[in-house]
Amino acid sequence: MRQDDHSAFDPEARSRTRPDHRGQDPLPASLARTRVVELLKRVRVPAAETRVNDYPHQFSGGMRQRAMIAMGLSNEPSLLIADEPTTALDVTVQAQIIQLMKTLNRELGTAMMLITHNMALVASLCQRVVVMYAGRVVEEGPVDQIFQNPQHPYTWSLLRSVPRVDEARKDRLVSIRGLPPDLVSPPPGCKFHPRCPFVIDKCKTDPEPQLLEVATNQVARCWVLMRNVSQEDVAAAKTSVVSVEAAQKLKQEATSEESGIAGR
């Protein structure tokens, strides 16, 4: 499933022309219509028999998302890969799509891989989570375990950068300082070290740490690990904010880098 529901559809094609049977012989028109109606019903598009004649612009954002899921399911895959499946949807529609994906997962037994920054989506849909930074897996484990006991500072920062309604927390949200690394010339050592609140010298000088088991079924790539960070350091990281001066400095650096590239 693509991230952008607008680019997933041909604006001039009605939904009945869109069953996604790549790699297979196209279905005859009459069978294609029946198949699309069946798929639209499966993803709970109301009045599927008439909506099958509609163009993409006649569908709402949530309906296009459902139609995209239907396209993904048309080949009856054993694995459905969904790239940011709820981006650009309002919260109510997001909840409906999440519920639909859960139901389809249960009904069809289709495994799902979500690519997302939406922690709420991960918490509500996934069993296992893989956290990536700069193209590397930095932590992996069961969702409950990772949410309760993250061991990599990036995972810890991500989880503390979003508000949660299930706990009465008075702490400030954590902002991750700096910018994502340049992947053409990434920083030496741990790729997260320029942004890590718990960095030590070894992180900058030694080769990148390996993924090591840190708990049952949980691996992380870090020299320090959150369980070894003192409460004082955690408290300091929680209260740190990106100052206006620091933000301006970062912007200046980025601008001068860009003009340097343009001048080359």
Contacts with ligand SF4, residue ranges (CB under 6 A): 152-153, 190, 192-193, 196, 198-199, 203, 209, 222-224
Smallest separation, CB 146 to ligand SF4 (Å): 15
CA 245 vs. chain centroid, Å, equals 30
d(CA 97, CA 88): 12
The two beta strands, 111-115 and 79-83, are: parallel
Instruction: Tell whether the torsion through CA atoms of 130, 131, 136 and 139 is positive or negative.
Output: negative
Shorter beta-carbon distance to ligand SF4: residue 6 or 202:
202
Sorted by sequence, the CB contacts under 8 Å of residue 135 that are 6+ apart come out as 183
Looking at the Cβ atoms of 199 and 250, the one nearer to ligand SF4 is: 199
CB 125 within 8 A of CB 207: no
126 Rama sector, left if φ>0, alpha if ψ -120 to 50, beta otherwise: beta
Q: How far is the CB of 236 from ligand SF4 (least distance, A)?
A: 14
> With respect to ligand SF4, which residue has the nearer C-beta, 101 or 222?
222
- Min dist. Cβ of residue 145 to ligand SF4 (A): 18
Is residue 157 within 8 A of residue 176, CB to CB? The reply is yes
Q: What are phi and psi of 218, to 5 degrees?
A: -125, 130
Q: How far apart are CA 258 and CA 55, in angstroms?
A: 42
CB 254 → ligand SF4: shortest distance, Å?
A: 21
CB of 89 to ligand SF4, least distance (A): 33
* Residue closer to ligand SF4 (CB basis): 59 or 133: 133
Instruction: State the nearest-atom distance from the C-beta of 129 to ligand SF4, in Å.
Output: 17
| DSSP H helices in 170-243 | 201-205, 231-239
For ligand SF4, give the closer residue by CB, 90 or 206.
Answer: 206
Between 147 and 223, whose beta carbon lies closer to ligand SF4?
223
